[in-house]
Amino acid sequence: MKSEKSSLLRPSGRSRFKLLWRLRPRRVPIVYHPEVLGSVCARQSRQSFDPYKFKKIRTRLVREKLVSPKHLLHPEPASEEDLLRVHTHTYLARLKNPQVVAQLLHLDYVDLWDNYVLRYFRSMCGGTLLAAEQALATGRVGFHLGGGYHHAFPDRGGGYCLLNDVAVAIRSLFARQWVQRVLIVDLDAHQGDGLLEIFSQDPRVFHFDIHADSWITVEKKEQKCIALSHDTGDEGYLSVLSGELPGVFASFRPELVFYLAGSDPYQKDPLGPLALSEAGLLARDRMVFE
Ligand SMILES: [Zn+2]
């Protein structure tokens, strides 16, 4: 009786899909988690990325009245079961060591905050999964103002990425049989090496990746990875994207697309080696959506 009741309250699998479909909102779902890494990263000497960037996007969207705070969806942290679909037991145990976490985030120390950091990354996994569920349930698009931690491997992290939120979301959807074919469009300026490794033997996932040539770390023939020279600007970038992506959609015919809209191809990004303008980034995003 108890399990029946709890399964009604917390539906899973196809029943959750049907429930979400019935309750689907008319507005575009936007997922946002209020926790930021800023509390952990503030005032540390080796910090080289902006831990407040997702919060800044949320603030701008609200200020320009493009979204109301009450309509933002807040994710739950991903469950241990979902994390283990991608990451090893040993690695998840290692992440309980503050020194390991500090090293992966290029911080001087993490000390008391290790649980906070892990909760943040688990929430990023939960957020990407929730955005994907919303996209499927509404038949449209779901945004997550967060995530994109594509350098996390099953047994190790890297490049500020502890848990691979996109991989956790995809494996969770496969486990629930919501989708059979997923396309990853990874347009961060750095190659999504963790994602490529995780899905290298999985024909249900196709990975399309455009990145700067100075960052290639993985070669995968089955996927499409395009390396551009480090100073590529709008014209060169957009002509490659428009020439290659439609063919991938036509041949792979995905049921769901995960788009990693990295902002670091921007010419002024301190970590990005490409040279796109703001207008170029907007044209890139339009091209993917249209
Ligand atoms: Zn990047």
What DSSP string runs through 160-195? TBSS-HHHHHHHHHHHTTS-S-EEEEE-SSS--HHH
Of the two residues 53 and 166, the one the predictor is more confident about is 166
Are 182 and 198 in contact, with CB atoms under 8 Å apart?
no
Of the two residues 89 and 11, the one the predictor is more confident about is 89
Secondary-structure breakdown of the chain: helix, strand, coil percentages, each rounded to the nearest 5: 45, 10, 45
* Cα–ligand 1 centroid distance for 10 (angstroms): 36
CA atoms within a 13 Å half-sphere pointing along the CA-CB vector of 151: 16
Given this model, what pLDDT does residue 41 score?
A: 59
Given this model, what pLDDT does residue 45 score?
A: 47
Q: How far is CA 271 from CA 90, 121, 201, 214, in A?
A: 30, 21, 30, 12
Q: Is the pLDDT of residue 47 over 50?
A: yes
* Cα–ligand 1 centroid distance for 150 (angstroms): 9
- Element spanning 212, H or E: strand 205-212
Q: Give the chain's length.
A: 290
Of the two residues 214 and 196, the one the predictor is more confident about is 196
Which residues line ion ligand 1, judged by CB < 5 Å?
Answer: 188-190, 264
State the pLDDT confidence band at 281, using cuts at 50, 70 and 90. Answer: very high
State the pLDDT confidence band at 233, using cuts at 50, 70 and 90. Answer: very high
pLDDT in tens, 100-126: 887 888 777 655 555 777 888 999 999
* Mean of pLDDT values over 274-290: 96
* Cα–ligand 1 centroid distance for 82 (angstroms): 25
Q: What is the percentage of the chain residues whose pLDDT exceeds 90?
A: 60
Rounded (10°) CA dihedral 224, 225, 229, 234? 60
State the pLDDT confidence band at 99, using cuts at 50, 70 and 90. Answer: confident
Given this model, what pLDDT does residue 112 score?
A: 54
Place of tokens 């196809």: 14
Angstrom distance (rounded) from CA 211 to CA 126 = 26
Are 142 and 131 in contact, with CB atoms under 8 Å apart?
yes
State the pLDDT confidence band at 55, using cuts at 50, 70 and 90. Answer: confident
Active site residue 211: no
Least confident among 28-37, 45-54, 64-73, 266-275:
45-54
Q: Which residues contact 11 (CB under 8 A, 6 or more apart)?
A: 19
Q: Is the pLDDT of residue 228 over 60?
A: yes
- Element spanning 131, H or E: helix 114-138
ipTM above 0.95, yes or no: yes
The secondary structure of residue 73, as a DSSP letter, is B
Q: Is the pLDDT of residue 46 over 60?
A: no
Q: Is the pLDDT of residue 15 over 70?
A: no
Considering 150, 151, 190, 207, which one is annotated as catalytic?
A: 151
* Cα–ligand 1 centroid distance for 50 (angstroms): 12
Given this model, what pLDDT does residue 275 score?
A: 95
* Cα–ligand 1 centroid distance for 149 (angstroms): 9
